[in-house]
Amino acid sequence: MWTARPASPRRAIAAVIIGPGIATAIALAASRIGAVGAASMYLLAVVAVAAAGGVWSGVAAAIASFLGLNYFFTPPKHTFTVGKIAAGERDAPPELDQQPASHRGVATACA
């Protein structure tokens, strides 16, 4: 039967710092992946940290990943404040505002 030896404290702490750090760097470098892609990177990092450092390292990496995702990829960016949508604001991307209401969300073959 295979048994894993417990991770050393140094290894566990390094994994907690390096795992979400690498996920943040990759997600910021590949800016086109957006918040969903960043969340996937963080999930992969948490699983890797938990495998390398144990359960508590995985929990600490999950907390660090949550904070990184909130700070770098969730509007308003670069703050931990949760934004509210004002009465007149919408979630529609700017390119949808330039199309007539009848064409919103409809893909056309003619360009």
What pLDDT is attached to residue 78? 85
pTM of the predicted model, to two decimals?
0.67
Q: Which pLDDT value is given to residue 87?
A: 60
Q: How far is 43 from 107, CA to CA, in rounded Å?
A: 32
pLDDT value at residue 8: 84
Which amino acid type is present at position 100?
P
From first to last of its 111 residues, the chain has per-residue pLDDT tens of: 455 666 788 888 898 999 999 999 999 998 888 889 999 999 999 999 999 888 999 999 999 999 999 999 888 888 888 767 666 555 555 554 555 556 555 555 555
The pLDDT score that the predictor gives to residue 85 is: 64
Q: Which amino acid is at 79?
A: T
**Do 62 and 20 touch, CB atoms closer than 8 A?**
no
Residue with tokens 């949760």: 82
pLDDT tens digit string along 33-46?
888 999 999 999 99
Distance (Å, whole) CA 40 – CA 55: 19
What are the structure tokens assigned to 73, written together?
């990829």
pLDDT of residue 75: 82
- 10 within 8 A of 17, measured Cβ to Cβ: no
Please name the residues in contact with 96: beta carbons below 8 A apart, sequence gap of 6 or more.
Answer: 104, 105
Q: Is residue 76 reached through a cis peptide bond, with omega within 30 degrees of 0 on the bond before it? A: yes
